[in-house]
Amino acid sequence: MVKHQELEYTGKTQPEPGLWYEPIRRKIYPYYPSEALKEAVNLAIALKMPLLLEGEPGCGKSRLAHALIYEFSQRYGKGEWGYEFWNIQSTTKAQDGFYTYDYIGRLQAAQLQKEDIIDPERNPANPENFVIEGVLQRAFEEKQYRTVVLIDEIDKADRDFPNDLLLAIEERRFYIKETQTWIEADEETLPIILITSNQEQSLPSAFLRRCLYHYIEFPTSEQLIDIVRGHFPKSPSEVVNRAIERFLELRDEMEADKSENEKKISTSELLVWFQALNRYPAEKILAKLKQNQLPHPEALLKTRSDLIAYTDGA
C-alpha cells in the first residue's frame, strides 16, 4: 500500500464516459480539474487536513470525490479504496456522522433476556452491541483500505454543526461515551475528507481554521467543451461549440442582470440541456442555435421571470 504522503492526484486518469463505478454505485464521467484544484487536493493530503470546497451550485464540487477515488483506485491498487457520502440536511447533527446509540434496542434486549430469550449479538450487558456506526466511524475504523469521505453541503446544517465536528476533523478521532472508547483513524489508512458548501450561510472561523480552502471557479469556454465532450463523446464538434457559445451568451446576460447571489445557469444544467439537444438531429439543433434561439429553455431556466426575460416569454 502506498504511503499516505506519497499519494498524488493528477487528474490524468479518467474513466470511460458513463462508467458504472461500484464503489460509489453510480455512473461517473471524466473530471477536468484546474491546476489550482489539483494543488489544493495534494496539499490537503500532504498536510492531512480536510479540503473545504466552495463554488456555485452545479460546478462539480461533489464530483471531485468521484474523480479522486477512481484515479487512486486505478493508480494505487483496485480494491484498496472506499467511499463514504454524508449528505447534510437542515436537521443533521454532527453526532449522526460519528455514531448513534440504539437505547431502545438495548432496553428491548434486556426485557427479552428476563424471559430467557437471549441473542448473543444483542446482549444488553455489552453496550458496544448497540452502537450504530456513522460515516466517520466507518472511515476511521477501516484498516483494509483508505476512504474518501464526502461531507456534502455543510452549509445546510445548523450553525453549531461545523463546530461540533472540530475535534474529529482535526485529530481524526472521537469518543463514544456509552462504551467509553475512542475511535481513532489509522495513519496507514487515513481517510481523505472533502467538504462542500454552496455558501448559503457563513461557516464558523474555528472550523475554517482547520480546513484548507479552494473556490471552484466557473469553467472557461475550453473547459466547458472538455466537460461536454467527456459526457457526450459522439456529439459533433460543431454542435458542441455552438451550444456552449449560446450557453455562455445566456450566462453573460444573467450575470449582467442578476446580483452575485442570485441563481445563474450552471455546468450541471448545461449537461442536462445538452442531453435534451441530443434527442434531435444535429442539423435541426444547429439551425435553431445559429438563429440565436434557445431550444429547450426548460432545461436551463427555472423561474417564470427568467423564461420571460431570456426567451421573450416562451
Q: Would you say how long the chain is, in residues?
A: 314
Instruction: Please indicate, yes or no, whether residues 19 and 44 belong to a single structural domain of this protein.
Output: yes
Task: Categorize the per-residue pLDDT at 123 as very low, low, confident or very high, splitting at 50, 70 and 90.
Answer: confident
Q: Per residue in 194-206, pLDDT tens?
A: 999 998 888 999 9
Predicted confidence (pLDDT) at residue 31 exceeds the cutoff of 60: yes
Do residue 136 and residue 74 come from a single domain? yes
Residue 127, in any domain of the structure = no
Query: Are the beta carbons of 195 and 52 closer than 8 angstroms?
Result: yes
Domain finish residue from 191, 215, 239: 215
* Each residue's pLDDT tens digit, 154-180: 999 998 899 899 888 888 999 999 999
Domain identity same for 200 and 241 = no
Q: Which residue has the cell 446576460?
A: 253
Whether residue 104 is contained in a domain is answered as no
Same domain, 35 and 85: yes
Q: What distance in Å separates the CA atoms of residue 107 and residue 296, rounded to the nearest whole number?
A: 57
**Average pLDDT for residues 258-274, to the nearest whole number?**
90
Residue 314 has pLDDT above 70, yes or no: no
Regarding whether 256 and 162 lie in a shared domain, the answer is: no
Q: At 150, is the secondary structure helix, strand, or coil?
A: strand
Please report the pLDDT score of residue 108 as a whole number.
84
Transcribe 179-239 into DSSP letters: TTEEEE--GGGPPEEEEEE--SSPPPHHHHTTSEEEE-PPPPHHHHHHHHHHH-TTS-HHH
Contacts of 242 (CB under 8 A, 6+ apart): 286, 289, 290
* 88 plus 65 within the same structural domain: yes
Domain-located, residue 165: yes
Q: What is the pLDDT of residue 238?
A: 92
Burial of 195 (0-12, 13-18, 19+ CB in 10 A): buried
Look at residue 136 in the predicted model and tell me its pLDDT: 95
Check whether residue 140 and residue 175 sit in a common domain: yes
Whether 250 is in a domain gets the answer: yes
Q: Is residue 196 part of a domain?
A: yes
* Residue at 107 is within a domain: no
Alpha carbon separation from 193 to 91, 143, 262 (Å, rounded): 21, 16, 29
In a domain? residue 36: yes
- Do residue 199 and residue 60 come from a single domain? yes
Average pLDDT, the chain: 90
Last residue of a domain, one of 198, 215, 232: 215
Confidence of residue 120 (pLDDT cuts 50, 70, 90): low
Q: Does 182 score more than 70 pLDDT?
A: yes
Tell me the residue range of the domain where 25 lies: 4-99+132-215
Domain count, the chain: 2
3-class secondary structure, 147 = strand
Residue 117 pLDDT greater than 70, yes or no: no
Instruction: Say yes or no: 191 and 209 in one domain.
Output: yes
238 and 295 assigned to the same domain: yes
Last residue of a domain, one of 151, 185, 215: 215
274 and 299 Cβ atoms separated by less than 8 Å? no
Within a domain: 240: yes
CA neighbor of 197 nearest in space, from 27, 51, 297:
51
> Which residues, at least 6 apart from 123, have a Cβ–Cβ distance to it below 8 Å?
109, 113, 129
For residues 204 and 248, membership in a common domain is answered with: no
